Structure 1
């Protein structure tokens, strides 16, 4: 199979049109179309359904795309490894983690890492959805649950707890609960069920001190921990947050019922097996472990 044609096919499949792929490849639309037609002729199968609104992969095209995507992802990984200096880590480093952990804990510490390793090009991707490290959607991840993919390398980073928090203004107005049963008399925030939460059993506050068949009804549901934290700062009520959020810009929140502990969770540093020898990943892992040791969870 011709690698140049395969590279053009991969770009077309991702762009969805000859024109957009041509712009990315710096080729004319007609040149891209000819290369795809030549590839289809050599394989003796159609790869795209062509229609007025763009291109759709055929069943054979889907099979070739998945394989090509995997191959080019691995080639990109090898290219990054070959280009990296053994003496001085350099090159791109895509880091992904949840919105809350990345915003509150990780982002404020990246300046120090950038000062230590100015030749590493850091990109932080915040998403509560897990990106596919095997397909190079990111190089490394900090996950707040054990990774599900067996082929990923994981290093335990920290163990943390979840507690109940509220703003001083809210507590002044509505009082401070003295027991789990007192939560019945307060406005409670919950993550809800619209999307999968980044931590297990995040809405335990609705069940604590109650019959499990009769949970409390939340006053407000927000499917994002950072959004929940901002609502708590705005005096919306009481809510459960992981302890890593009770620092920095969240210092204004007050922990209530300190003896009432929510689910414990672990965070992991995760990366693909192919990146094991990367100096960029090694130094970032060591940096994270050092910053975790300095933090209080």
Structure 2
């Protein structure tokens, strides 16, 4: 397995995250679909933070003292207004550690960068964030946190995580659903390369009240293999070996099987109201994040 990727969380990447958070701050009202805000007035609520004024905001929430000092309008945020819950779960199995040499299209690096970007946007908007790595039939959690200053701890958590072994997604998701008390918007990042039927795990999360965004993450060569000839393939999770001759006929059959498998997953998600997106790691990362969030109304 590759070591900690040197460019995963460098300054250039952090600057990209900062730009994403600025976009999210301008769209704080309803930035996540399914967001629930308190409509109660006159209650005793705890002050949480400030954000930039956006046209249409309630002027009663303006901090006039800050405006007089900085000549810029800021809105006061209170605990009841910012207490949106976000969950980011990602598959930490050995199949995510692909291709075998660290590269731009490396799934594990890509998944952690995507988790970091989504997490940063949530923290920048003071949402209650929990991140969890799924491994075996359990999970390793980080959070819940909702303060922007927690981002460096989140980056350290993501950077230190290995991708190894097998992940049994259904029991891991079921266990997570049973141990989390607050449902919310839940991102699941995985290559879904598991022999088990994923549907019971997703159904359990929905039953618990989560709104699910399934990000199906694959490398380009898993969608369209470039291998050819007489080969011995080895499963990176089970170490099982298989001798095979790869030719044009085999590649055509593979693609047919892949399309049927991917289509079945997408069809189930559409039927159940789960947001499904197939992501390949050859897409430019920044373009992917901005397109994904804007397409689904997460950023305006």
Q: Which bracket does the TM-score occupy, shorter chain normalised?
A: under 0.3
Structure 2-normalised TM-score?
0.27
Structure 1-normalised TM-score?
0.27
Larger Rg computed on CA atoms: 1
